[in-house]
Structures are given as C-alpha cells and as structure tokens.
Amino acid sequence: MASQPAEAVGTVVVLREIRRSDVELMAYWPRFDEAELQWANLDLTTAEQRDAWYERNRSIGHRRRFTIWDHHGRVIGTVGLRNIDFRYGEGTLGIIVNAADVGKGYGTDAVNTIVEFAFEQLGLRKVYLDVAEDNVRAQRSYEKVGFVRIGQHRGTEGLTYVDMSLSRERFQSRAARF
C-alpha cells in the first residue's frame, strides 16, 4: 500500500483528512428539508455531540474520512470510505454535501476525487455505495463518475436504497476517454 496523503485535489474541491476543528465548521451547515436526506442533517449542537461524531467518523485503519473544501477555503461537505477491506480490495463510499452547496458540482468532483484516491493511493479494486431511490440527483452524479446500479435494498426506516458499484478498470477506462 502506497503512502497515504492527508489531502487529495480535485477540479473544484480539495479533500483534506478530517480534523476535529472541521467539525466545528460543519455544525453551522443548513439542514435538508427532503425526507430522504434527513440522515444528512448532522446533530452537532453541543461540543459533546461534535466530539462523539468526530470519534465515530475520523480516519482509522478500515475507514478514511475527508472534509470537502472549495477553492475559497469553505468546508462544504464530508466524504469517505468505510468498511475498507484491503484483502479483497473493496470499500464503501459515503458523502454529505452541505444543503446550501448541493447542485453545484462539488459532490460529483468529490466523489471522483475520493474514488481516484481509493484506486490509486489505497489500491482498492472496487468501491460500493448506496443511495436513496428518491435521490435522483445523487444517482446522476454517481453515474457521471461511472458507478452502475447492482441492486437495491430497503433500509430500516422504510426507504428503498439503490446499491451501486464502480470497479477500478471501469473508472480508469472512463477517465482515459476524457
């Protein structure tokens, strides 16, 4: 496994390994109104909640978590890989873009950047994700990067989720065309 940088640079975003101080900035993000995005409303009201969220989400052996920064120096989201299994070369992607910055291309660039990091720096061969079936905007973003639908499942709250995956070979072949 290659040395792992603390940041990865995309076209419109920079991903930096999450720091506790970043969580302070995330506490002021506006909230989502959509039912399928309520999970993305982080409850970071108190210092104890912020400490707990950071400890649950910071990078450790099987998880890499980054904050998403725009080129103006604003924290606009968080993206990461969890359940990293180096033996099988797989991990699961998760992303939250703050509600005020959705639809501006930041999420697509962040996903593209973290996937490139997963394949090139971590040596993974496949990345998985799931997305609420009603979150068509996010599905389109993932498809732009090269993810394909592989199934679906029902979550505990009754929502249907679309399961998607992207192989290193597919990602590299798509990148070579652009």
The string of pLDDT tens digits covering residues 42-71 is: 667 788 988 888 988 887 889 999 999 999
Count CB atoms within 10 A of the CB of residue 174.
Answer: 14
In this prediction, residue 41 carries a pLDDT of 59
Residues in the chain where the model's pLDDT stays below 50: 1-3
In this prediction, residue 19 carries a pLDDT of 92
In this prediction, residue 146 carries a pLDDT of 96
In this prediction, residue 101 carries a pLDDT of 86
In this prediction, residue 91 carries a pLDDT of 98
In this prediction, residue 1 carries a pLDDT of 45
In this prediction, residue 6 carries a pLDDT of 80
Residue 105 belongs to a domain: yes
- How far is residue 68's CA from residue 5's CA, in Å, rounded to a whole number? 15
Residues in contact with 160: Cβ distance below 8 Å, sequence separation at least 6, in sequence order: 132, 133, 152, 153, 154
Residue 60 belongs to a domain: yes
For residue 93, give the CATH number of its domain.
Answer: 3.40.630.30
Asked whether 88 and 140 are in contact (CB, 8 A), the reply is no
In this prediction, residue 33 carries a pLDDT of 72
Residues in contact with 29: Cβ distance below 8 Å, sequence separation at least 6, in sequence order: 42, 98, 99, 100
Residue 144 belongs to a domain: no
Asked whether 132 and 36 are in contact (CB, 8 A), the reply is yes
Q: DSSP for 53-77, please give it.
A: HHHHHS-BTTBEEEEEEETTS-EEE
In this prediction, residue 2 carries a pLDDT of 46
Residue 162 belongs to a domain: no
Count of domains for the chain: 1
Instruction: Determine the structural domain holding residue 103 and report its residue range.
Output: 7-125
Residue 157 belongs to a domain: no
In this prediction, residue 100 carries a pLDDT of 84
In this prediction, residue 110 carries a pLDDT of 97
User: How much is the pTM?
Assistant: 0.87
Residues in contact with 64: Cβ distance below 8 Å, sequence separation at least 6, in sequence order: 4, 17, 80, 81, 84, 117, 122
CA atoms within 13 A on the CB side of 98: 17
The two tokens of residue 89 are 């070369």
In this prediction, residue 138 carries a pLDDT of 93
